C-alpha cells in the first residue's frame, strides 16, 4: 500500500505527537536497538500509539502487540484506541485472563504481560511490540517482559520493541534506557514546561504545608521509604488535623481535590477529619470493591457539579487515572521515588474548562526532595544527594526552583547561599571579578513562548522568550524584542536574529513569532556558546551553531496548534 492508499479517517495530531512518531520510525530505520518515547502525563500517548498501529497494519501489512501491566490500563488502551481510530475497531483483539478474552488472530493485540509472558508462540508473529508505561519494565535480570521478548524473537527475530512513558527512570536503578536494558535510547522527549507554555498542559502552582513531617528518620528499602514508617509518621493526629484544616482553607475556590495518603489507616483518618468538618470525602484503596470504586470515581469526576469534591486514595490513582477536572493535588505522603512523585502530581496536568491551574499542596517535602516536575533531579545509584533542587519561600510557603534569588510569588529576597563544603565538580566561574569564561553547550531542545516582563505596565512590549535546554536540569534563556517599535535598536537586533534563522518576515507580535517557531519556520540550533563574566549576574549567549534555514511556509493556520500527519510510503517500512 502506498501513501495515496492510506485511510481517509486521519488522526489529528499535535505537532509534538507527529514529531514523536517520525522519531520512532527514524530510529527503527537507522539503529538496531530499541527506542523509548517520553511524553508527559496527559500529553496524549494514545494518538501516537494509534497512529503507529495504523501505519504498521494498514500501510505495511504488519502486526502490533501492545503490552500493559494491569487490567485497567488494558481496558483504557482498548477504549481509547477505539475512540481515536474507529476504523481499527475490527482489527483490535484483547488477550487478558483478567478480562476473560484470549484473542490471537487480530493484527493488533492488546495484552496483559502476566497473561502472555509464556505464550508468545501462541500469539504468533509480531513486527512491533509497544510497551505502555514503560518505566515499569524490570531492571537487569529475567522478568516477564524479557521472557516474552526472548520467545517473541524466536517467532520473529526482527521484532522491534518500542516503549512509551512519562517517567523514564526507576527508584533504584536510574534511567530505564541503557545498553544492556530492554530499552536502549530515548528517541524523542518533550518536556512538561514546554507543553504548559504551548497550552497543551495545565499550569501548576505549589505550596508547602505549613506543618510538615520530619522525614529525616525514615529508612529506605528497595529505594523507597519503608511503608510502615511512613504511615506511622504521617498518621500523627496533630499533623492530620493541621493538614486537613489547611487543605480546607486553601481549596475554598477549588472543585476537585485528589489526596494521596500514606496508608489505609492514615487515609481513613484524613477522611474522618474532613467529614467531621462538614466536607464529604471519598476513599479508595486496593481493597475497595470494584463497584464502590467505580461509583466513587464517577462522582469525583463530576467535581463541582454536585459531585464529590475531596477524594483520598492509597496507591491506586497514580497511573492511568484520568480526571481532567482535578484542580488540586495533595501529597500527604513522602516518597523517595521521583517517578511516583511525578505520577501523583501528573494527575493535575490535564486541561479542563473549570480550572485555570492546578494547585499542589505538599506535606511530605517531595518538591524539595525531587525538584519541580519540569526539572526533576534523578539521582544516580550510589551518588550523593547533591544540592536541593527546590526550596521553600519562608514568607509565602511557595515551593520554587532552587535557582531563584527572589520569590516570584511574593518578592521575598533569599540571603546569599552559604558554601561550607567544597563543590563536587570544579567550577567554571571566574575566580576574579571580570574574568570571562566561554563554554559551548549542545542544545537538547528549544522552547518558545511569549514573555511579559514581571512588573511591566499594561501595554509594555512583550518579547519572544527562547529557552535552550543544555542539560537534564539546565537551560539558557534569551529574549527577542519583536514587539518593540520599528526602527528601535531592540527591534533591529530582533530582526537580525530572525533573519539569521528564517526565510519568513520577522513578525511584530510575540504570539505570531511563537506560532511561526513552533511551525518550523526557524533553523534548528544545535549548540550555543555561553559567556560568563565573574561578578555579573547573568550569562549571555554569544554564538550559535545552526542548521540551514528552512524553506518558507506556504500558507496554513500557524496558530491552530495541530498537525496533519502524513504517512510515509511503504518502501520506507521501519521494521
Which CATH number fits the domain that encloses residue 318? 3.40.50.300
Are residues 105 and 23 part of one domain? yes
What is the pLDDT at residue 28? 93
What is the pLDDT at residue 410? 59
Tell which wins on pLDDT, 339 or 14.
14
What is the pLDDT at residue 71? 66
Question: With bands split at pLDDT 50, 70 and 90, how would you rate the model's confidence at 406?
Answer: low
Q: pLDDT for 168-192, tens place per residue?
A: 876 555 778 888 888 999 999 888 8
pLDDT mean over 442-459: 83
Please spell the DSSP secondary structure of 442-471, one letter per residue.
E--EEEEEEE--TTPPTTPPPEEEEEEE-S
SS3 210: coil
CA dist 243 and 115 (Å) reads 42
What is the pLDDT at residue 421? 38
Q: Is 81 exposed, middle or buried (0-12, 13-18, 19+ CB in 10 A)?
A: buried
Domain that holds residue 441: 436-546
Count of domains for the chain: 3
Are residues 213 and 149 part of one domain? no
Q: What is the mean pLDDT of the chain?
A: 81
Q: Can you list the pairs that 447-452 forms with residues at least 24 positions away whose Cβ atoms lie under 8 Å?
A: 447/191, 447/193, 447/194, 447/197, 448/197, 448/513, 448/514, 448/517, 448/518, 449/197, 449/198, 449/514, 450/510, 450/511, 450/513, 450/514, 451/479, 451/510
Are residues 225 and 184 part of one domain? no
Q: Please, are residues 362 and 400 in contact by the beta-carbon 8 Å criterion?
A: no
CA-CA distances (angstroms) from residue 41 to 51, 183, 343, 374, 484?
18, 20, 8, 12, 37
| Residue 66 clears pLDDT 80, i.e. is over it | yes
Q: pLDDT for 280-298, tens place per residue?
A: 999 999 899 988 988 999 9
Residue 482 lies in a domain: yes
Q: Is 434 exposed, middle or buried (0-12, 13-18, 19+ CB in 10 A)?
A: exposed
Residue 417 lies in a domain: no
CB atoms within 10 A of CB 180: 7
| Residue 106 clears pLDDT 70, i.e. is over it | yes
Are residues 460 and 312 part of one domain? no
Question: With bands split at pLDDT 50, 70 and 90, how would you rate the model's confidence at 559?
Answer: very low
Question: With bands split at pLDDT 50, 70 and 90, how would you rate the model's confidence at 396?
Answer: low
Residue 409 lies in a domain: no
Detail the DSSP E strand segments found in 443-567.
445-451, 463-469, 475-480, 525-533, 540-546, 563-564
CA-CA distances (angstroms) from residue 496 to 23, 58, 269, 300, 547?
32, 47, 62, 53, 17
What is the pLDDT at residue 382? 47
Contacts of 51 (CB under 8 A, 6+ apart): 11, 13, 17, 21, 85, 565
Q: pLDDT for 318-349, tens place per residue?
A: 776 778 999 999 999 999 888 888 889 989 99
The region of weakest confidence among 20-24, 374-378, 495-499 is 374-378
Residue 255 lies in a domain: yes
pLDDT mean over 474-487: 86
What pTM was computed for the model?
Answer: 0.66
- Chosen domain end from 401, 418, 447: 401
Are residues 278 and 145 part of one domain? no
Cell numbers for 474: 539546565
Cell numbers for 98: 483478567
CA dist 360 and 523 (Å) reads 37
Are residues 48 and 183 part of one domain? yes
What is the pLDDT at residue 248? 95
Are residues 309 and 368 part of one domain? yes
Q: How far apart are the first and last CA of the chain?
A: 15
Residue 42 lies in a domain: yes
SS3 11: coil
Are residues 225 and 182 part of one domain? no
CB atoms within 10 A of CB 125: 13
Q: Which alpha helices (H) appear in 2-96, and where do they start and end?
A: 15-30, 45-54, 71-84
Tell which wins on pLDDT, 80 or 51.
51
What is the pLDDT at residue 39? 92
What is the pLDDT at residue 327? 93
Q: pLDDT for 224-248, tens place per residue?
A: 899 999 999 999 999 999 999 999 9
CA dist 470 and 545 (Å) reads 13
CA dist 205 and 84 (Å) reads 31
Are residues 155 and 125 part of one domain? yes
What is the pLDDT at residue 562? 53
Are residues 320 and 221 part of one domain? yes
Residue 574 lies in a domain: no
Tell which wins on pLDDT, 27 or 112.
27
Q: Please, are residues 396 and 412 in contact by the beta-carbon 8 Å criterion?
A: yes
Percent of the chain with pLDDT over 90: 34
- Chosen domain end from 191, 223, 242: 191
What is the pLDDT at residue 366? 86
CA dist 257 and 238 (Å) reads 21
Residue 318 lies in a domain: yes
Are residues 126 and 232 part of one domain? no
| Residue 8 clears pLDDT 50, i.e. is over it | no
The pair phi, psi for residue 110, each rounded to 5°, is -105, 125
Q: At what angle do helices 227-234 and 264-276 cross, to 10 degrees?
A: 20
CA dist 38 and 188 (Å) reads 6
| Residue 142 clears pLDDT 70, i.e. is over it | no
Are residues 289 and 225 part of one domain? yes
| Residue 78 clears pLDDT 80, i.e. is over it | no
- Chosen domain end from 127, 158, 191: 191
Residue 363 lies in a domain: yes
- Helix or strand holding residue 153 (H, E): helix 144-155
Amino acid at each position: 500500500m502506498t501513501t495515496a492508499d492510506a485511510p481517509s479517517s486521519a488522526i489529528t495530531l499535535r505537532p509534538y505527537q507527529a514529531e514523536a512518531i517520525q522519531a520512532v520510525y527514524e530510529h527503527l530505520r537507522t539503529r538496531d536497538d530499541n527506542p523509548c518515547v517520553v511524553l508527559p502525563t496527559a500529553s496524549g500517548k494514545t494518538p501516537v500509539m494509534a497512529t503507529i498501529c495504523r501505519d504498521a497494519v494498514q500501510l505495511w501489512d504488519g502486526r502490533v502487540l501492545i503490552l500493559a501491566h494491569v487490567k485497567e490500563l488494558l481496558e483504557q488502551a482498548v477504549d481509547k484506541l477505539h475512540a481515536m481510530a474507529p476504523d481499527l475497531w475490527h482489527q483490535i483483539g484483547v488477550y487478558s485472563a483478567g478480562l476473560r478474552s484470549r484473542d490471537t488472530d487480530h493484527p493488533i493485540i492488546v495484552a496483559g504481560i502476566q497473561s502472555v509472558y509464556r505464550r508468545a508462540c501462541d500469539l504468533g508473529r509480531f513486527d512491533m511490540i509497544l510497551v505502555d508505561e514503560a518505566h515499569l519494565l524490570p531492571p537487569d535480570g529475567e522478568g516477564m517482559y524479557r521472557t516474552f521478548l526472548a520467545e517473541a524473537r524466536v517467532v520473529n527475530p526482527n521484532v522491534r520493541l518500542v516503549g512509551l512513558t512519562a517517567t523514564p527512570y526507576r527508584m533504584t536503578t536510574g534511567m530505564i534506557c541503557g545498553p544492556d536494558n530492554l530499552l536502549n535510547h530515548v528517541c524523542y522527549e518533550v518536556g512538561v514546561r514546554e507543553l504548559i507554555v504551548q497550552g497543551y498542559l495545565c499550569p501548576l502552582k505549589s505550596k508547602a504545608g505549613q506543618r510538615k513531617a520530619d522525614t529525616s528518620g525514615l529508612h529506605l528499602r528497595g529505594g523507597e521509604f519503608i511503608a510502615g514508617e511512613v504511615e506511622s509518621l504521617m498518621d500523627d493526629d496533630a499533623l492530620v488535623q493541621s493538614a486537613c484544616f489547611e487543605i480546607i482553607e486553601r481549596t475554598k475556590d477549588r472543585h476537585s481535590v485528589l489526596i494521596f495518603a500514606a496508608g489505609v489507616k492514615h487515609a481513613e483518618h484524613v477522611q474522618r477529619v474532613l467529614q467531621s468538618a462538614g466536607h464529604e470525602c471519598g476513599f479508595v484503596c486496593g481493597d475497595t470493591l470494584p463497584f464502590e470504586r467505580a461509583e466513587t470515581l464517577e462522582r469525583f469526576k463530576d467535581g463541582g457539579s454536585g459531585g464529590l469534591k475531596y477524594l483520598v486514595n492509597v496507591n491506586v490513582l497514580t497511573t492511568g487515572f484520568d480526571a481532567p477536572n482535578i484542580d488540586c493535588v495533595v501529597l500527604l505522603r513522602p516518597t523517595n521515588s521521583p517517578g511516583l512523585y511525578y505520577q501523583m502530581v501528573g494527575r493535575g496536568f490535564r486541561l479542563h474548562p473549570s480550572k485555570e491551574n492546578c494547585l499542589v499542596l505538599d506535606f511530605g517535602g517531595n518538591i524539595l526532595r525531587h525538584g519541580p516536575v519540569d526539572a526533576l533531579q534523578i539521582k544516580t545509584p550510589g551518588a550523593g544527594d547533591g544540592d536541593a533542587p527546590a526550596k521553600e519561600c519562608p514568607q509565602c510557603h511557595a515551593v520554587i526552583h532552587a535557582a531563584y534569588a527572589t520569590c516570584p510569588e511574593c518578592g521575598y529576597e533569599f540571603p546569599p547561599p552559604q558554601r561550607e563544603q567544597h563543590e563536587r565538580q570544579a567550577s567554571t566561574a571566574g575566580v576574579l571579578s571580570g574574568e570571562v569564561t566561554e563554554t559551548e553547550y549542545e542544545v537538547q531542545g528549544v522552547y518558545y513562548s511569549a514573555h511579559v516582563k514581571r512588573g511591566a505596565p499594561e501595554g509594555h512590549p512583550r518579547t519572544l522568550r527562547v529557552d535552550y535546554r543544555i542539560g537534564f536540569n539546565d537551560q539558557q534563556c534569551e529574549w527577542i524584542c519583536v514587539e518593540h517599535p520599528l526602527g528601535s535598536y531592540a527591534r533591529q537586533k530582533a530582526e537580525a536574529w530572525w533573519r539569521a534563522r528564517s526565510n519568513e518576515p520577522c513578525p511584530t507580535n510575540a504570539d505570531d513569532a511563537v506560532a511561526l517557531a513552533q511551525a518550523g519556520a526557524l533553523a534548528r540550533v544545535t549548540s550555543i556558546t555561553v559567556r560568563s563574566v565573574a561578578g555579573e549576574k547573568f550569562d549571555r549567549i554569544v554564538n550559535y551553531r545552526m542548521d540551514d534555514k528552512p524553506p518558507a511556509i506556504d500558507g496554513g493556520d500557524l496558530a491552530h496548534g495541530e498537525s496533519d500527519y502524513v504517512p510515509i510510503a511503504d518502501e520506507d517500512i521501519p521494521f
